[in-house]
Structure 1
Amino acid sequence: MPVLLEDHDSELNLRPGTTKSDIVAYLYQNPEWGYTPQELKEALDIPRGTATTTLKRLHDDDYLGKTDDGYYYALSEREDVRRYVSSLNQVDRMFGHHLDADATPEEPEKQIGEDRTDEELDAELAELEGELNE
């Protein structure tokens, strides 16, 4: 996928849809708060071990800050991460409403006319064509 070079930061190693990205997005969307691994586990519905390990790595890589008593938070100086999260939010605002929580690939949406016989559809088509020719 091409990237806009003006906004590209090769040092930013985040990919949308990953736990790492989800944690960063959550913390940067709530920059005034600090969270424990347990609170993030519950908020993002991820396993505790995954939360703890990912938070440690994000802190070690300077994506997040950490208080002495174990609260993780967004770093105010990471403008690149703020831009990344802003882009995620913008994509969600633009396309998030298109996601249908009830639709699954195994259950395609019902097509118009799917519950009618061929004869009924042919009769309806003939009627519509007749109206157009009038």
Structure 2
Amino acid sequence: MPIHRESHPEDVDLKPGTTKSEIVVFLYQNLELAYAPSEIAEELDIPKGTATTTLRRLHEQGYVGRMEEGYYHGLNDREDLRRYPHSVAETEAMFSAHPDNDDAPEPDPGREADTDAIEDGDFESEVDELEDEFDV
């Protein structure tokens, strides 16, 4: 999945759509809570071993915090990562609405055709009028 250049933190090595990214998004959307790897695995529907390994790596890289009891959490002082879930959501929304997206809603076949459609000749004259109006 592509990323949004302006809102994706440069020093964050996360790729949307990966388990690593999903875990970071989940933890930073729930900053006030800490989770055991099994709880994260259940919430994200991923294998517990994958959650445990990914969380350990994220902790080693400084993306998430870890409590002595083995619970993981987002870090309040990582402003770049606190913005990351919003960046991912914006990107997903942008691409889910794209007309080439197979998941985009199909046009309603029961809807009547637009009777105000402009014919080619009328279109050209409207463009000419607009160009005259704006001195193009």
Shorter-chain TM-score range:
0.5 to 0.7
The alpha-carbon distance between structure 1 residues 7 and 31, as it changes in their structure 2 partners (threshold 3 A), is: same
Counterpart in 1 of 2:69? 69
State how far apart, in whole Å, the 1-side matches of 2:4 and 2:93 are: 20
Q: What is the CA RMSD across the aligned residues, in angstroms?
A: 3.3
In structure 2, do the counterparts of structure 1 residues 99 and 65 end up closer, same or farther at CA, with 3 Å as the change threshold?
A: farther
In 1, distance between residues paired with 2:43 and 2:4? Answer: 31
Matched, 1:46 2:46: yes
**Runs (5+) with no aligned partner, structure 1:** 104-108, 113-134
Aligned length: 106
- 1:3 deviates by 6.1
Distance 1:2 1:36 in 2: 29
Aligned to 2:89: 89
How far 1:94 moved relative to its partner? 4.9
2:79 corresponds to which letter in structure 1?
E
Asked whether the equivalents of residues 63 and 74 of structure 2 are also in contact (C-alpha less than 8 Å), the reply is yes
Question: Mind listing any 5+ residue stretches in structure 2 that lack a counterpart?
Answer: 110-136
Looking at structure 2, the residues matched to 70 and 20 of structure 1 have their Cα atoms a distance apart, in angstroms, of 18
Match of 2:15 in 1: 15
Deviation for aligned residue 1:86: 1.4
Match of 1:16, SS state, is coil
Residue 58 of structure 1 aligns to a residue whose secondary structure is: helix
| AA at the equivalent of 1:57 | R
Q: Secondary structure at the match of 1:75?
A: coil
Q: Deviations over 1:71-95 (max 9, x none)?
A: 1000001111122221112334555
TM-score between both structures, scaled by the size of structure 1:
0.65
Give the match for residue 123 of structure 1. none
Q: Which position in structure 2 is the counterpart of 1:118?
A: none
The structure-2 alpha-carbon separation of the partners of 1:61 and 1:2, relative to structure 1 and needing over 3 Å to count, comes to: closer
The amino acid that maps onto 2:66 is K
Compare 45-54 and 7-16 and name the one that shifted more. 7-16
Contact 2:28 2:74 in 1 (8 A): yes
User: Which SS does the other structure have where 2:73 is aligned?
Assistant: strand
Further displaced range: 76-85 or 25-34: 76-85
The amino acid of 1:67's aligned partner reads M
User: TM-score, normalization: structure 2?
Assistant: 0.64
